[in-house]
């Protein structure tokens, strides 16, 4: 067509939808025009003068181009609108130019003619190439004829007329027919992806058959022009399906999009197992290029002979055949287009299809049940051959996947961007049918009448679908999928297998059950709570059992209780209340749900019936009952019950609260209407457990495996209350160090239940294998770093349980560990120092004990003690006792009295026992020039002790409010029992200076200490209470210690608590008057706990303060004016050589002997010195003492002691 054809002049207006647009001639002396005949057909009004118009087209010398335009709007009447429109038509015409002779006829479809900017609208182009009486409009067979979706380029219509001859437009009952003389019976018609129209994989192919339209003419297709049809502009044809039909994936499909409307996943469920079954079947069809997705304007009707094996299956896997229904009231069986993505459409069934089974499988048991999804426990009763499938069009098929708080949420099916067909079952008899939806893999079984040990399947249901002809299809239809033709071998599959499983369990199954439940139960449940169980071939009375070991009791069709775990002493079950006939309806519904994921956080008093959910495992009592709504703290939940019988793992299900089973019935919808708070808490709860396991805490191994296991089904309770009022008594003392409001079991669940039929009844004996984990951390303790928040109180003692882990498997305790912390801020009346640094023996105020358990004869025996080889150094503010090393400690119960429920409560008494060493200071410095040495009277580097006892007592009280127990405890009361301490009197060795290796339980004295020179035997560790009085009350006389006096550390220790070391030292025999008695002195070295004063005292046989006199048989009196204790320099002969040594000496000054009234000596003074062995070393311990005496006449200068002493002196 020439380019000047675009410069067109307009003559006339539109008349009856026809406009003649003229092209002026270049010859000025002659008016000669070629016209573009435009026929506007409004699809809502039609065109009535088609026959006359066809005759007008035979004036071929006048018309250059004829266009039939089908639009949904008017082309407009203004010159500007006409010009814009004609220009668009001419652009289309240019694309199909036929040369300088002849003319084109085009059939074009536009959405909106007033805003056309499409360069590739759908059209059919026909080229006139002959002149005869019929003025035929022939097809240019050199290129395919394209018909794409309006405004799109992905689909086209290809009509192959290369075998036809003498094609022309013809009017048949006011339909525009492409007619021809009889030449070929069929021609190819394809509807598919733009490109090669013969590519069967990308096109819907038909062999269009000629239809006799009279007068010896035939037509391959017609286009409706008459508005009485209501489908103006649609192409009608009849054809045989070619193999390319599979390209349109005749299926049921669902799609997932994100919250921004972006496509994510597409789920295809092929309807036909083998599409070749309809490959040569006849279909009568209509295509509306303007409305390919309008089921009323574009559809394919299968013929009566079309029959195919569908992908639907019976419960036992029998294939279900489908064919168009022949019932008088049937809705036409058709295939229509649905949109599955922005550039993809597919075919799906609508209308009524008759059903049948293969003859070989018509006698099978359970043949009359339609499998609804992937689970064999979700099916719908139907009768093949009687019931028909009615596919209801344009039902919700879109799910929205959104991210909320980093959590994926999948919506229910909505009628959003994509729709599909749902299923309704219809039958001529209008019979009711049952819907069975038992938990996935967990249907109910019962003993058969012939053999009580043989369990037979007994389907239970509450859902009866009443077939009412008055009900709309939309009200009775439900979503479904067919799986048997799915294959995942092709890499082009829209979604992987796991996605299909997830989509079925999370979306289709839950939506289907919700829809069918509403269909079956449109009204409220009975007021008395009774809701009879309807059973197909099941008995109405008895006991029913699932593979998980859940036991249901049914009486007269009423479900009265549900038991889901049992031990030898207790059961976990839900019972009906005395006022109701059966269990509450929500419970029954939940346990007759195929994809059951039931989360229970509150007990409303009616939703659980009468729960019995108390459990004892190895002496630990658990209460699994969810609290009332007002006691369940939002975001800080406890006693969360989860029942799972579904596909997918627990971690997946907790993220989708909208998919949980009957959420509204078992949770607080006032505070958390969508379940987001509870879901987030569950996610965090599980993530914390995963993190603990990944950081090395093996206690969470089983839980971590469980929540990730797609095959795990059962029940589990989270953050479970522990009944601390009924613990094993050995565990009661731990409660003193536990924050009771934080003490819960991490989880309690059932691993498996063994069932044994009872011989006397139809009931079952159940034995459950339960598991649990208690994992407690003190709020102030970080187990990864070991950091502990210091007690806020200023108490002398404090006790905390830092960690406690108890793992239960097979209903018994498998492992137990705990870490206890005893804080000690004072020992022996002295403050424990925290700022003392010691490289080898660091300071502490805390004692850590580990807990463990052993099972002996089926009884759990708990022990709490410090780890082996632990050294805990408590440095003291005392100058005498500088530190206490605790090498071993034990913690145990001593007594329990009363009950926590009875005031004043349960009194719990316990006891810490300590073993270790007392580390004494070196005393005071000697006066100059020996001030670098010490007057080391306490001597001990290590003094082993045992049985230092610290008791701890408190009272536990329990209050019950609205069925919820609350436990409180009194402040801890500590008492140290030092009087029971035992010290060892055996000296193992003299410690070298700087020694850091000590044998446990051995005593070590320091070199150059008093005990290293004096053969003293430790008699007792003295503990004197505040009201015990001074040491003189124990018969001691003051022993003046010169270095201590000079250091101003001598003073009274009366009126305060004091401690001391009491020694014995053998001084020799007492003479002939007492030949068998060893003369033994007792020395006491004591210190005041408050004042820090030191006291040295001596006690000799018969000697009593304050006169320091020894009375012998009442006749002889021996006395001393003063007894002085000192450390002085002497010349000693050690190891063969003379050396200067510092020796400990006890001086008796001015002693005298009185016989009756006589004194000896009568004048002068006599002094006696008792000294130890100054030559003792780490290899030698002293065994005796030496005496040195001197007499001084009056007026005589005192003499010094001998210049040298050997170790044998």
Q: Which of 243-257, 743-757, 892-906, 1063-1077 has the lowest mean pLDDT?
A: 1063-1077
Kindly tell me if the per-residue pLDDT of 1203 is higher than 50.
no
DSSP letters spanning 959-992? EEETTEEEEEEPPPEEEEEGGG-EE---EEEEEP
Strand bridging mode 63-71 / 103-110: parallel
- How far out from the chain centre does Cα 528 lie? 37
- The Cα 532–Cα 541 span in angstroms is 11
Q: Best-predicted range by mean pLDDT among 230-239, 527-536, 817-826, 1138-1147? A: 817-826
In the prediction, which pLDDT does 10 show? Answer: 36
Domain parsing of the chain, residue ranges:
1-246, 249-431+467-523, 778-988, 1013-1206
Q: Best-predicted range by mean pLDDT among 108-112, 165-169, 655-659, 1157-1161? A: 655-659
- The Cα 890–Cα 870 span in angstroms is 13
C-alpha closest to that of 828 among 1056, 556, 1147? 1056
Q: Give the pLDDT band of residue 449 (cuts 50, 70, 90).
A: low
In the prediction, which pLDDT does 761 show? Answer: 72
Q: Which of 169-183, 209-223, 323-337, 998-1012 has the lowest mean pLDDT?
A: 169-183
Query: Cβ of 944: how many Cβ atoms within 10 Å?
Result: 24
Kindly tell me if the per-residue pLDDT of 952 is higher than 70.
yes
Q: At what angle do helices 676-694 and 701-708 cross, to 10 degrees?
A: 130
Task: Say if residues 1163 and 1195 touch (Cβ distance below 8 Å).
Answer: no
Q: Is the dihedral of CA 499, 505, 506, 512 positive or negative?
A: positive
Q: Could you give the residue ranges of the DSSP H alpha helices within 409-568?
A: 473-476, 497-503, 509-520
Q: Could you give the residue ranges of the DSSP H alpha helices within 751-803?
A: none
Task: Say if residues 762 and 447 touch (Cβ distance below 8 Å).
Answer: yes
CA angle, 20 then 25 then 31, to 5°: 80
- The Cα 380–Cα 372 span in angstroms is 7
CA angle, 901 then 906 then 909, to 5°: 170
Kindly tell me if the per-residue pLDDT of 105 is higher than 90.
no
- The Cα 640–Cα 632 span in angstroms is 10
Taking the C-alpha atoms of 148, 149, 150 and 151 in order, what is their torsion angle to the nearest 10 degrees? -80
Average pLDDT of 1198-1204?
A: 48
Q: Best-predicted range by mean pLDDT among 212-226, 338-352, 801-815, 1154-1168? A: 801-815
Q: In whole angstroms, how far apart are CA 302 and each of 252, 319, 601, 855?
A: 17, 20, 53, 75
Q: Which of 45-49, 248-252, 374-378, 472-476 has the lowest mean pLDDT?
A: 45-49
Tell me which H or E stretch contains 596: strand 596-600
Average pLDDT of 1095-1120?
A: 63
Average pLDDT of 145-169?
A: 49
Residue 533 DSSP symbol? P
Could you list the beta-strand ranges (E) of 1135-1160.
1137-1155, 1158-1160
Kindly tell me if the per-residue pLDDT of 540 is higher than 90.
no
In the prediction, which pLDDT does 554 show? Answer: 85
Taking the C-alpha atoms of 666, 671, 672 and 674 in order, what is their torsion angle to the nearest 10 degrees? 100
Taking the C-alpha atoms of 1137, 1139, 1142 and 1143 in order, what is their torsion angle to the nearest 10 degrees? 40
How does pLDDT run across 14-26, given as a tens digit for each residue?
A: 344 555 554 444 4
Strand bridging mode 186-193 / 203-209: antiparallel
Contacts 24+ apart (CB under 8 A), 993-996: 995/941, 996/840, 996/841
Higher-confidence residue: 1162 or 719?
A: 719
In the prediction, which pLDDT does 954 show? Answer: 96
> Which residues neighbour 940 within 8 Å (Cβ) at sequence distance 6 or greater?
918, 919, 920, 1003, 1004, 1005, 1006, 1009, 1011, 1061
CA angle, 1125 then 1129 then 1133, to 5°: 115
- The Cα 129–Cα 98 span in angstroms is 9
In the prediction, which pLDDT does 32 show? Answer: 40
Task: Say if residues 994 and 1178 touch (Cβ distance below 8 Å).
Answer: no
- The Cα 59–Cα 61 span in angstroms is 6
Q: In whole angstroms, how far apart are CA 226 and each of 173, 325, 469?
A: 8, 30, 34
Task: Say if residues 910 and 951 touch (Cβ distance below 8 Å).
Answer: yes
Kindly tell me if the per-residue pLDDT of 120 is higher than 60.
no
- The Cα 1062–Cα 1067 span in angstroms is 16
In DSSP terms, which residues pair with 1154 in a beta bridge?
Answer: 1117, 1159
Within 13 Å, how many C-alpha atoms sit on residue 517's CB side?
Answer: 23
Tell me what percent of the chain is helix, strand and coil, each rounded to the nearest 5.
Answer: 15, 45, 40
Tell me which H or E stretch contains 311: strand 308-313
Query: Cβ of 80: how many Cβ atoms within 10 Å?
Result: 8
Task: Say if residues 413 and 479 touch (Cβ distance below 8 Å).
Answer: yes
Q: Give the pLDDT band of residue 659 (cuts 50, 70, 90).
A: confident
How does pLDDT run across 829-886, given as a tens digit for each residue?
A: 899 998 776 767 888 999 999 999 988 777 888 999 999 888 899 999 988 999 999 9
Q: What is the mean pLDDT of the chain?
A: 79
In the prediction, which pLDDT does 981 show? Answer: 82
Residue 630 DSSP symbol? G
- The Cα 955–Cα 963 span in angstroms is 22
Strand bridging mode 407-410 / 455-457: unpaired
In DSSP terms, which residues pair with 478 in a beta bridge?
Answer: 423
Phi, psi of 79 (to 5 degrees): -60, -35
Residue-wise burial string across 740-755, b where 16 or more C-beta atoms lie within 10 A, e elsewhere: eeebbbbbbbbbebeb
In the prediction, which pLDDT does 789 show? Answer: 74
CA diameter of the chain = 186
Query: Cβ of 1079: how many Cβ atoms within 10 Å?
Result: 15
Q: In whole angstroms, how far apart are CA 144 and each of 120, 662, 717?
A: 14, 57, 68
φ/ψ bin of 947: left (φ > 0), alpha (ψ from -120 to 50), beta (otherwise): left
C-alpha closest to that of 591 among 616, 621, 628, 554? 554
Kindly tell me if the per-residue pLDDT of 1073 is higher than 60.
no
Residue 534 DSSP symbol? B
How does pLDDT run across 677-719, given as a tens digit for each residue?
A: 999 999 999 999 999 999 999 999 999 999 999 889 999 999 9
- The Cα 428–Cα 901 span in angstroms is 67
DSSP letters spanning 73-90? S---SSHHHHHHHHHHHH
In the prediction, which pLDDT does 80 show? Answer: 61
Higher-confidence residue: 930 or 1133?
A: 1133
In the prediction, which pLDDT does 532 show? Answer: 47
Percent of the chain with pLDDT over 70: 74
> Which residues neighbour 122 within 8 Å (Cβ) at sequence distance 6 or greater?
108, 109, 146, 147, 148, 149, 150, 156, 157, 289
In the prediction, which pLDDT does 685 show? Answer: 97
Within 13 Å, how many C-alpha atoms sit on residue 784's CB side?
Answer: 6
Q: In whole angstroms, how far apart are CA 321 and each of 133, 271, 318, 778?
A: 52, 11, 10, 66
CA angle, 589 then 592 then 598, to 5°: 70
Residue-wise burial string across 22-34, b where 16 or more C-beta atoms lie within 10 A, e elsewhere: bbeeeeeeeeeeb
């Amino acid at each position: 067509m020439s380019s000047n054809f675009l410069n067109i002049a307009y003559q006339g207006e539109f008349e009856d939808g026809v406009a003649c647009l003229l092209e002026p001639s270049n010859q000025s002396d002659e008016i000669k025009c070629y016209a573009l005949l435009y026929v506007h057909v409004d699809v809502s009004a039609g065109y009535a003068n088609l026959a006359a118009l066809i005759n007008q087209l035979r004036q071929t010398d006048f018309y250059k181009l004829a266009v039939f335009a089908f639009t949904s709007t008017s082309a407009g009447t203004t010159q500007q609108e006409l010009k814009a429109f004609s220009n668009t038509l001419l652009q289309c015409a240019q694309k199909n130019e036929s040369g300088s002779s002849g003319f084109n006829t085009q059939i074009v479809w536009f959405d909106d003619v007033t805003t056309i900017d499409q360069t590739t609208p759908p059209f059919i182009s026909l080229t006139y190439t002959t002149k005869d009486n019929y003025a035929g409009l022939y097809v240019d067979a050199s290129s395919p004829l394209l018909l794409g979706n309006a405004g799109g380029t992905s689909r086209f219509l290809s009509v192959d007329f290369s075998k036809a001859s003498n094609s022309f437009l013809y009017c048949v009952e006011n339909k525009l027919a492409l007619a021809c003389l009889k030449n070929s019976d069929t021609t190819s018609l394809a509807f598919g992806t733009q490109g090669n129209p013969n590519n069967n994989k990308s096109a819907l192919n038909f062999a269009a058959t000629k239809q006799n339209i009279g007068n010896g003419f035939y037509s391959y297709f017609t286009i409706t022009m008459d508005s009485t049809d209501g489908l103006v502009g649609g192409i009608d044809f009849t054809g045989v399906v070619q193999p390319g039909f599979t390209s349109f994936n005749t299926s049921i499909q669902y799609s997932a999009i994100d919250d921004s409307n972006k496509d994510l996943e597409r789920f295809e469920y092929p309807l036909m197992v083998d599409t070749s079954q309809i490959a040569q079947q006849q279909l009568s069809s209509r295509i509306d290029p303007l409305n390919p997705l309008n089921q009323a304007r574009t559809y394919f009707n299968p013929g009566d002979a079309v029959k195919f094996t569908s992908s639907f299956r019976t419960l036992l896997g029998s294939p279900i055949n489908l064919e168009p229904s022949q019932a008088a009231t049937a809705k036409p069986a058709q295939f229509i287009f649905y949109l599955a993505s922005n550039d993809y459409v597919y075919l799906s069934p609508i209308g009524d299809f008759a059903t049948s089974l293969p003859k070989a499988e018509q006698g099978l048991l359970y043949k009359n049940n339609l499998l609804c999804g992937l689970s064999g426990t979700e099916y719908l009763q139907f009768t093949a051959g009687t019931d028909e499938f009615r596919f209801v069009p344009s039902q919700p098929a879109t799910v929205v996947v959104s991210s909320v708080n980093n959590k994926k949420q999948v919506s229910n099916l909505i009628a959003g961007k994509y729709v599909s067909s749902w299923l309704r079952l219809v039958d001529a008899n209008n019979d009711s049918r049952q819907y069975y939806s038992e938990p996935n893999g967990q249907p109910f079984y019962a003993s058969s009448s012939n053999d009580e040990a043989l369990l037979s399947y007994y389907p239970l249901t509450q859902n009866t679908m009443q077939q009412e002809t008055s009900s709309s299809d939309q009200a009775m239809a439900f979503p479904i999928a067919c799986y048997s033709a799915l294959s995942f071998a092709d890499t082009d599959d829209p979604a992987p297998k796991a996605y299909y499983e997830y989509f079925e369990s999370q979306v289709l199954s839950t939506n289907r059950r919700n829809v069918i439940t509403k269909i079956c139960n449109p009204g409220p449940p009975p007021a008395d709570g009774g809701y009879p169980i309807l059973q197909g071939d099941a008995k109405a009375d008895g006991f029913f059992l699932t593979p998980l070991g859940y036991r249901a009791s049914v009486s007269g069709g009423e479900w009265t209780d549900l038991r889901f775990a049992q031990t030898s002493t207790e059961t976990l079950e839900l019972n009906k209340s005395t006022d109701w006939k059966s269990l509450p309806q929500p419970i029954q519904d939940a346990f007759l749900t195929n994809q059951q994921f039931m989360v229970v956080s509150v007990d409303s008093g009616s939703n659980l019936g009468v729960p019995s959910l108390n459990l004892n495992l190895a002496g630990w009592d658990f209460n699994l009952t969810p609290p009332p709504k007002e006691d369940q703290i939002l975001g800080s939940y406890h006693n969360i019950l989860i029942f799972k019988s579904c596909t997918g793992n627990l971690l997946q299900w907790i993220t989708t609260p909208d998919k949980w089973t009957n959420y509204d019935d078992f949770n607080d919808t006032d505070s958390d209407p969508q379940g987001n708070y509870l879901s987030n808490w569950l996610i965090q709860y599980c993530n914390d457990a995963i993190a603990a396991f990944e950081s090395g805490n093996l206690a969470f191994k089983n839980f971590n495996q469980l929540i990730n296991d797609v095959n795990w089904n059962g029940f589990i309770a989270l953050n479970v209350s522990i009944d601390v009022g009924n613990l094993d008594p050995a565990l009661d003392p731990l409660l003193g160090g536990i924050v009771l409001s934080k003490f819960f079991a991490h989880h309690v669940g059932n691993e498996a239940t063994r069932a044994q039929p009872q011989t006397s009844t139809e009931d079952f004996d159940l034995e459950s294998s339960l598991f649990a984990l208690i994992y407690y951390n003190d709020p102030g303790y970080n187990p990864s770093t070991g950091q502990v928040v210091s007690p806020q109180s200023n108490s002398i003692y404090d006790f905390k349980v830092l960690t406690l882990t108890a793992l239960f498997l097979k209903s018994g305790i498998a492992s137990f560990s705990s870490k206890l912390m005893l804080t000690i801020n004072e020992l022996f009346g002295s403050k424990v120092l925290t700022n003392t640094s010691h490289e080898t023996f660091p300071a502490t105020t805390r004692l850590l004990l580990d807990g463990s358990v052993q099972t002996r004869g089926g009884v759990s025996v708990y022990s709490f003690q410090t780890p082996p080889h632990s050294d805990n150094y408590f440095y003291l503010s005392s100058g005498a006792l500088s530190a206490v090393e605790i090498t071993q400690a034990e913690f145990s119960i001593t007594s329990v009295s009363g009950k926590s429920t009875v005031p004043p409560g349960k009194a719990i008494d316990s006891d810490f026992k300590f073993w270790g060493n007392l580390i004494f200071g070196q005393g005071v410095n000697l006066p100059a020039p020996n001030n670098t040495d010490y007057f080391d009277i306490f001597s001990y580097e290590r003094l082993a002790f045992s049985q230092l006892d610290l008791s701890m007592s408190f009272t536990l009280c329990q209050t019950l409010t609205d069925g919820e127990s609350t436990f409180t405890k009194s402040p801890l009361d500590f008492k140290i029992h030092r009087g029971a301490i035992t010290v060892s009197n055996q000296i193992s060795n003299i410690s070298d200076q700087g020694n850091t290796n000590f044998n446990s339980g051995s005593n070590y004295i320091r070199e150059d200490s008093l005990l290293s020179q004096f053969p003293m035997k430790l008699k007792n560790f003295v503990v004197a209470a505040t009201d015990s009085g001074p040491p003189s009350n124990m018969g001691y006389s003051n022993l003046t210690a010169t270095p201590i006096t000079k250091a101003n550390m001598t003073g009274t220790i009366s009126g305060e608590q004091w401690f001391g070391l009491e020694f014995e030292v053998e001084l020799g025999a007492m003479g002939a008057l007492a030949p068998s008695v060893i003369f033994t002195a007792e020395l006491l070295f004591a210190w005041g706990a408050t004042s820090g004063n030191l006291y040295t005292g001596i006690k000799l046989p018969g000697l009593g303060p304050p006169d320091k006199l020894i009375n012998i048989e009442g006749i002889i009196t021996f006395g001393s004016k003063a007894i002085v204790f000192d450390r002085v320099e002497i010349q000693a002969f050690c190891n063969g050589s003379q050396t200067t040594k510092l020796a400990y000496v006890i001086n008796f000054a001015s002693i005298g002997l009185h016989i009756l009234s006589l004194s000896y000596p009568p004048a002068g003074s006599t002094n006696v010195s008792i000294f130890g062995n100054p030559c003792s070393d780490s290899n030698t311990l002293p065994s005796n003492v030496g005496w040195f005496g001197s007499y001084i006449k009056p007026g005589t200068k005192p003499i010094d002691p001998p210049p040298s002493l050997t170790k044998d002196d």
